[in-house]
């Protein structure tokens, strides 16, 4: 499947798989797609999520306690693919994929209907040297890399060249989490990337209100929402799928109408 965004800004929804359990995660992912998410980032829970803020750290802890492994994430992907053509990206740290086996992962991801992967702690230089790009290309899987405001021109050029699907522009340095204002760095970073590639650009890390979501659409094709979604999962244990769908619907509707809607904090 080709990753595509139907409207601007498109919505990339990050979901920590296995929080609170695998079956509920399937419901959450399908609800997010039904509410209008263009791409789902299927978060693989990890014991040391150094790039994530407290909301996603807690989600990972709950998922690990429920016994969630990479196999279950691929199971969720398969269930979503059987009912939708939305983009599906495995979002993981490198360690779980190495333990699973990289070649085995690529084959299993293709078989499950996954569109690609984003490995948060795999630098593009190591991806080139370690065979990751070759194995992913052989399975027609997209390789998505993080570009940060601190990326050098040389590194940004490599990220643009080796990314497929879309480029993930990190709005700020630091960890994930909601924030009151998007920094100017995000707009400037997108402009730098735009000079290097025709791929869609998705801006993430901290987008937590409809105002921010709509603002990203002024200069990028998509916005990534993660901590805000996992926060409503945490706050609504009796109906997490419905709560996620409601938040996505509000974000999309408010962005179209221009009216502000604040996400749960």
φ, ψ (nearest 5 deg) of residue 195:
-75, -10
Q: Which is catalytic among the residues 19, 38, 41, 162? A: 41
Q: How many CB atoms lie within 10 A of CB 12?
A: 29
Residue 228: exposed, middle, or buried by beta-carbon count in 10 A (0-12, 13-18, 19+)?
buried
Contact partners, residue 184, CB within 8 Å, separation at least 6: none
Contact indicator for 223, 229 with CB cutoff of 8 Å: no
Number of helices (H) and strands (E) in the chain: give both, helices first: 12, 9
CA distance 263 to 251: 8
CA distance 119 to 114: 14
Spell out where 133-258 has E strands: 142-144, 146-147, 167-170, 201-204, 222-225
Sign of the alpha-carbon torsion through 133, 29, 67, 46: positive
Q: Which is catalytic among the residues 19, 27, 52, 234? A: 52
Task: Assess whether 41 carries a catalytic annotation.
Answer: yes
Task: Assess whether 121 carries a catalytic annotation.
Answer: no
Catalytic machinery residues: 41, 52
């Amino acid at each position: 499947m080709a990753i595509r965004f139907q409207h601007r800004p498109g919505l990339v929804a990050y979901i920590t798989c296995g929080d609170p359990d695998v079956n509920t995660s399937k419901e959450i992912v399908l609800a997010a797609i039904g509410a209008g998410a263009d791409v789902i980032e299927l978060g693989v829970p990890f014991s040391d999520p150094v790039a994530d803020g407290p909301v996603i750290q807690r989600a990972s802890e709950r998922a690990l306690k429920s016994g969630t492994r990479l196999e279950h994430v691929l199971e969720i992907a398969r269930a979503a693919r059987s009912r939708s053509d939305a983009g599906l990206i495995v979002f993981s740290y490198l360690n779980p994929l190495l333990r699973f086996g990289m070649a085995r992962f690529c084959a299993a991801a293709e078989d499950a209907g996954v569109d690609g992967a984003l490995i948060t702690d795999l630098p593009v230089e190591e991806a080139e040297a370690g065979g990751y790009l070759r194995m992913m290309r052989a399975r027609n899987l997209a390789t998505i890399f993080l570009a940060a405001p601190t990326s050098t021109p040389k590194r940004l050029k490599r990220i643009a060249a080796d990314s497929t699907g879309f480029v993930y522009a990190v709005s700020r340095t630091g960890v994930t989490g909601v924030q009151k204002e998007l920094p100017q760095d995000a707009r400037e970073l997108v402009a730098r990337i735009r000079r290097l590639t025709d791929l869609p650009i998705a801006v993430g890390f901290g987008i937590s209100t409809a105002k921010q979501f709509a603002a990203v659409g002024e200069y990028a094709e998509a916005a990534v929402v993660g901590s805000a979604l996992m926060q409503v999962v945490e706050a609504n244990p009796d109906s997490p799928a419905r709560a996620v769908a409601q938040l996505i619907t509000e974000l999309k509707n408010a962005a179209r109408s221009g009216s502000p809607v604040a996400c749960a904090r």
